[in-house]
Structure 1
Amino acid sequence: MLRKTILTIAMASVSTLALAGHDSKPTANPWTNFGLENKIQSMPKGDPIRGEEVHTQMMCNACHGEKGESPSRNYASLNGQPSEYTIKMMLDYQDGRRWEDYKQANVMVKISRALDEQQIADVAAFYAQQPLNSWSYAKEVDQEMFAKMDRVVRKGDVSRMIVPCASCHGAKGEGNGIVPALAGQVPEYFIRTMKAYQGKHRNNDVNEGMSQFTHKLTDAEIEALAEYYAALGQAQ
């Protein structure tokens, strides 16, 4: 009961932070492969111990859990994410490359702008150090659809020119560099993200790689992929 009360207060505080003032969307050019690589390499080395302090002080734990493993279906799990990916996401929120008009995204814009590059690198290092775990509430899915998605993950779909998910996200959904880990991700967040790419509401993917991929997937396939990755555990 006490934990629930503390969580409620913390989330209310974060919401207040998000609603304090109204920012206009900044103008930022899309990432190029070269530009993004140079920016990531120019970032300071992250310290996971300091990163945990940032995670706590900025109340990231209110939404993303004590170690980055989301306790809620409303928020993404960050545990086990490659540090480069977390850095990119925070920079995207800062610069307006990722600008989704709903409450959680507005919170992230505010938080990202309150952090300097060292703090971003530190919290990214903290999340990268945490293990990937399967989502606790993954549900059973249609086995035929699950098998179909397993083929898409491992082999893609030549008939629709869909490349294998594993070619970027890893055979076990572990991610790599700026490519996020998908193993153990909250299925509702996964679905929301895929729909955002599909509907062009999110366009911070380099060379529109995800937008092109999601465009050819049905709603049922996206849901099955969400459950497929949610069930993967300990990918690292």
Structure 2
Amino acid sequence: MDGVFPGGTSVTRLSVYPGACAADGLAGGTPHMHLASTEAYVVIGGAGELHTLNTAGHRGTPLSTGSVVWFTPGVIHRAVNHGDLQVVVVMSNAGLPEAGDAVMTFPPDVVADADRYRAAVELPVDERRDLAVRGFLRLVADPAALEEFYDHAVALVRPKAGGWRDIWASTAEAQTRRTGEVIDALAHGDGRHLRESELITTPQSETERLGMCGRLRTYDVRNGVTL
């Protein structure tokens, strides 16, 4: 458990893409959803909007410095940049998104075919985004198509999901179990864990990488350094 970020979460610095999408002219990222993890945005600069779609419908939520918004598995989301949008992303289940807990909203003929989906994921960032936005706009225009997209998304991640349990067990589950042990100990007057307390840090990655919504600087929150 030493060095693991609170709650088994992960933290990422996100600079949302400024370039406009050919499909609708909006600047921003690739619409996608997570199937097991909840994601939160803490806006630290700039302005924009979060476009979401789920069974409750399509919504645009304004984003400005100080905004905090989060969304649960099944919410398709797209960050739209109105001007230098900067976000700290807090994601539950650290390690699961990196292990495949995300499906982009490519058109149905792509998400229905695992090989075509994998090929689309490898497209250059702008092409990948434009393809996913076309699929997203179709889902917005035809809410009934969302059910089909959910089914295809589950089929795409099903081969990977068996391995996710080990990742989850080593982060979120382990921390929850540890908190239960601490509460039980305190109820018996046992404070030994206080004598094992630590101050932990982890550096921001030195280089940016291209993510679905923008340029990312990550933190290795699973291997913090004790100060």
TM range, normalised to the smaller chain?
Answer: under 0.3
TM-score scaled by length of structure 1: 0.27
Pick the structure with greater CA Rg.
2
Structure with the higher fraction of residues in strand conformation:
2
What's the TM-score once normalised by structure 2's chain length? 0.28
Higher relative contact order (CA 8 A, sep 6+): 2
Higher helix share: 1
